[in-house]
Amino acid sequence: MLSLREENPLDMLRQFSVHFDGDLIENLGAAKMSIANEHGSGYISLYEILPGFTAWIYNINFCRDLVINMNFTDDRPYYFGYNVSGYQLQKFPKEVDYKKISQGQNFIIISKPNSSSEFIIPKDIAYKCCYIIINPELLKKSKIPSKIRIIQDLAESFKLENENDPFRYFGNIDARIGTYADIIIENERTDIIGRLITEGAILRMLGSQIEAHDHDSKTNNYKSSLTKSELSRITYIGDYVLNNISEKVSIDEISLHLRISPKKLQSGIRFLYGYSANEYLTRLRLEHSKELMHSTDMNISEICFAVGYQSKSYFSKIFLDTFGNSPSAYRKSYEDANLLYDISYRSLAEDSLTGKDVDEIINIARLFNPQFNITGSIVFHRNIFFQIIEGPKKEVLTLFNNICNDRRHKDVQVMWQGFKMKREFDDWVMATISDEGELKVEIQGNTKNLELSNLLGKVDKSAMDSENLWRKVRNIIKLNANESAA
């Protein structure tokens, strides 16, 4: 049984990854856990549309029945789901029998605060399912205008008699919802284009589920006159626009490139994304501008021109209308001390490095890191360093640049870097994990139960360079850090 804690989406997916010995790849606002081992084959991915609004996608086949004991918080999130392929079983506490959620069935579950629920996904079936998880408490904190409509729709549709009782709705087989769920599940991209494909389908799927719950199934707008081949071609619109992001790209030009009529192009964009063609192009440019703010030191004017706008004031206006913050305010939020930057890297130790040298590296880190509000963890195994460092972006990048220029490190490879909302190593100035007998430094942090030596001891020297391996190490360390803080 997998005992799953209801936490932030990435931490929940990390629990899956460690349980199934999976490979977890993280992107901004998206992540994907893949397995191809004795546990099964396929993937589970997530997309965070807004804080408190997340989509989970299962496209996986398990070798054994997966029994999940889901431990809920007191926030009472809504779980909207649709099984495209396969089925699952669910029951609340004190229920003797499981309820079956069939293939093609729309379902909605709201938990009792601080309770649990069991789910079973049977083995040896191609299980494809999309969950939309909405946490109203987190959603209320967002400044994005579109969240107001979501909260209103939920409040109007789900007026529960007793807020402490669990709620379960199993709807009829509904091909309309399945149309959007299938788009979400079959889209494996986690980049900016993949996120927009998924976001559009998620919003349409959620609206259809609320309509189904309200017994309003009169709309036929979900049907598309386009073939699957034509819809597939339209998904490449994002790649074309990004390749020409600084230029003005017309619908006619895109239509010619994709070999599809302008009318069908606009119809397909509306079907896939829920936007008009111009709205979609605007959203793509704005999403790319956010990525430039995260990954470069370009100023707002430079970013404005880089994404194809000639007027900074117009760019700022549509950015504010879309995301609830001006570009400068949005960027400042990521430079705020409350938002942390995280870099995980693997490096090879210089050949002549001794245990005494490693002791010195760790002791200096423990001495100076607190001055710059940096925490993290370091692994030293078979002359390989793996380190997670977190703190204010400027200080973390300065430290990492020093590491890259340090002759004692070579072949430095970044496994992940990006922003995050909370610190995962509150009391670990630089926790150390190692089974190298020559190290004399004190093992700091709650690291003794990680059993990383069992994982690392199974692999040969060549496999130590595997990014997959070090992503697993990262997940194990971070899960342990979160459990220690709980």
How many other C-beta atoms can be found within 10 angstroms of the C-beta atom of residue 151?
15
Best CA proximity match to 45, nearest among 35, 67, 60, 30:
30
Say how many C-beta atoms besides its own lie within 10 A of residue 216's C-beta.
10
Tens of pLDDT, residues 387-431:
889 888 888 989 999 999 998 988 898 888 877 767 777 766 565
Same-domain pairing of 26 and 168: yes
Q: Confirm if 255 and 261 have CB atoms less than 8 A apart.
A: yes
Check whether residue 124 and residue 241 sit in a common domain: no
Q: How far apart are CA 406 and CA 375, in angstroms?
A: 19
Residues 84 and 68 in one domain: yes
Whole-number Å distance between alpha carbons of 214 and 154: 11
Kindly state whether residue 457 falls inside one of the protein's structural domains. yes
Which CATH number characterizes residue 382's domain? 3.30.70.100
Annotate 151-191 with DSSP letters as a single string.
Answer: HHHHHHH---S-TTS-EEEEEEE-HHHHHHHHHHHH----S
Does 331 share its domain with 458? no
Note whether 329 and 247 are same-domain residues. yes
In a domain, 200, yes or no: no
CA nearest to 380, candidates 429, 440, 458: 440
Whether 305 and 349 share a structural domain: no
Q: Mark whether 243 and 188 lie in a shared domain.
A: no
Tell me how far apart the alpha carbons of residues 433 and 455 are, in angstroms, rounded to a whole number.
13
Long-range contacts of 277-285 (CB under 8 A, 24+ apart): 277/251, 278/251, 280/196, 280/237, 281/241, 281/249, 282/318, 282/322, 283/196, 283/322, 284/192, 284/193, 284/196, 284/238, 284/241, 284/242, 285/241, 285/245, 285/309
On whether both 284 and 188 belong to a single domain, the answer is no
pLDDT of 455 reads: 54
Instruction: Return all residues near 123 (Cβ < 8 A) that are at least 6 apart.
Output: 40, 62, 63, 64, 65, 66
The answer to whether residue 310 is domain-embedded is yes
Q: Is residue 205 part of a domain?
A: no
- CA-nearest of 336, 387, 337, 394 to 365 is 387
| Inside any domain, residue 253 | yes
- Does residue 162 sit in the same domain as residue 232? no
Domain C-terminal end among 291, 318, 335: 335
* CATH number (domain holding residue 115): 2.60.120.10
Domains identified in the chain, total number: 3
Same-domain check for residues 351 and 462: yes
The torsion angles phi and psi of 409, rounded to 5 degrees, stand at -110, 140
Q: What is the pLDDT of residues 310-352, one digit of tens each?
A: 999 999 999 998 888 899 988 877 666 467 888 988 888 888 8
Q: Which of 303, 335, 367 is the last residue of a domain?
A: 335
- Domain co-membership, 166 together with 27: yes
Inter-CA distances, 262 with 250, 265, 266, 268, 269, Å: 10, 5, 6, 10, 11
For the chain, which residues score pLDDT lower than 70? 28, 142-149, 159-163, 173-176, 190, 215-225, 228, 334-338, 421, 427-470, 479-486
**Cα radius of gyration (the chain):** 24
- Asked whether the CA dihedral 321, 322, 324, 326 is positive or negative, the reply is negative
Q: Containing H/E element for 340?
A: strand 340-349
Same domain? 49 vs 123: yes
Q: What is the pLDDT at residue 217?
A: 39
- CATH number, domain at 279? 1.10.10.60
Helix ranges (H only) for 381-448 are 393-404
Provide the 3-class DSSP secondary structure of residue 283.
helix
Residue ranges making up the domain that contains 306:
228-335
Tell me, yes or no, whether 164 lies in a domain.
yes
Give the other-Cβ count within 10 Å of 64's Cβ.
12
Question: Which pLDDT value is given to residue 314?
Answer: 94
- Assigned domain for 410 exists: yes
- Domain membership flag for residue 185: yes
The Cα 52–Cα 150 span in angstroms is: 11
Residue that is last in its domain, among 335, 356, 384: 335
Token digits of residue 264 = 């069908």
